[in-house]
Amino acid sequence: MLEKYLDINPEVKEALESGKAVVALESTIISHGMPYPKNVEMARNVENIIRSKGAVPATIAILNGVLKVGLTAEEIEYLGKTKNIIKTSRRDIPFIAANKLDGATTVASTMIIAALAGIKVFATGGIGGVHRGAAETFDISADLQELAQTNVAVVCAGAKSILDIGLTLEYLETQGVPVVGFKTEELPAFYTRKSGFKVDYKVDSAEEIAAAIKAKWDLGLKGGLLVTNPIPEQYQMDYDTINKAIEDAVKEADEKGIKGKESTPFLLAKVKEITGGASLEANIQLVYNNASLGADLALELSKLK
């Protein structure tokens, strides 16, 4: 039954069958998170980074209604270039699949498809979270619920302040999702290494993360683990500059009445525009850094089986 919907490419399939390290990658970051052609270049480099570490990348998307695990260079190019690719979260999957549409997967839907394929590690840039003003708008990303229920470890660069970072951490606590900091006690804030918030646990190696995630799943505790990996020092942005840009972007989104699934893509594009592209460069570098840690984590996990 699943074969009707799920298509795992031969390289990924072979890797999974022989217990090799595989790292899942999302596609909303390609279609809605970055402009063309930088998005495609980023996606290609991320796959190369993972390969250079000895792991296998599996970029995930829905094409013509099929849940694809592992994309060709042409498919990545198509996702990066084509307008009107549908940003696809958990609630969208049934419709996109049944109607044979093209969907770019968010963190939530990438986790779902990775888990269906048997992939345990997923690297990305940023996850969705509790938005500022969520007490009024109820805008809480489905990514957080997914982390609560789907068994995939997600490597990201922390929570950025387009979100309410404090509320995002509270939500994750309620849902039982461990938030670990890679070599840091402070939660990184995506573009910057500092946020003013603490992680639950500091870890100093991929091996330590692998041991924790194995313990979680061995004990039957459902759900993921969020690894927050600070952007490398040399690429981080000035704290005040980025926060001012985010304030202005959030204000403009409010004035324009941007809401729902449009919110995150709008804010990212606005911040990029306000910072003259500097935020995009930082974003790309932090994704590379996460891909590298994701590969290390997948390699460590594959040793534990």
Count of helices and strands (H, E) across the chain: 13, 11
- Is 26 considered catalytic here? yes
Q: How far apart are CA 111 and CA 76, in angstroms?
A: 18
Q: Does residue number 33 form part of the binding site for ligand PSU (CB under 6 A)?
A: yes
Catalytic residue among 13, 26, 68, 120: 26
Size (the chain), residues? 305
Q: Does residue number 92 form part of the binding site for Mn ion (CB under 5 A)?
A: no
Q: For residues 142 and 211, which CB has a smaller minimum distance to ligand PSU in the complex?
A: 142
Q: How far apart are CA 42 and CA 86, in angstroms?
A: 20
Question: What x-and-dash track marks residues 132-161 binding Mn ion by CB under 5 A?
Answer: -------x----------------------
79 CB neighbour count, 10 Å cutoff = 26
Q: How far is the CB of 23 from ligand PSU (least distance, A)?
A: 16
Q: How far apart are CA 64 and CA 142, in angstroms?
A: 23
Instruction: Single out the residue of 22, 93, 159, 268 in contact with ligand PSU (rule: CB under 6 A).
Output: 268
Closest Cα to residue 285, out of 29, 30, 37, 45?
A: 45
Q: Quote the tokens at residue 256.
A: 């324009």
Q: Does residue number 261 form part of the binding site for ligand PSU (CB under 6 A)?
A: yes
Q: For residues 57 and 299, which CB has a smaller minimum distance to ligand PSU in the complex?
A: 57
Q: Quote the tokens at residue 112.
A: 């779902």
Q: Does residue number 128 form part of the binding site for ligand PSU (CB under 6 A)?
A: yes
Active site residues: 26, 160
Contacting positions for ligand PSU (CB under 6 A): 26, 28-29, 32-33, 89, 106-107, 125-128, 141-143, 261, 264, 268
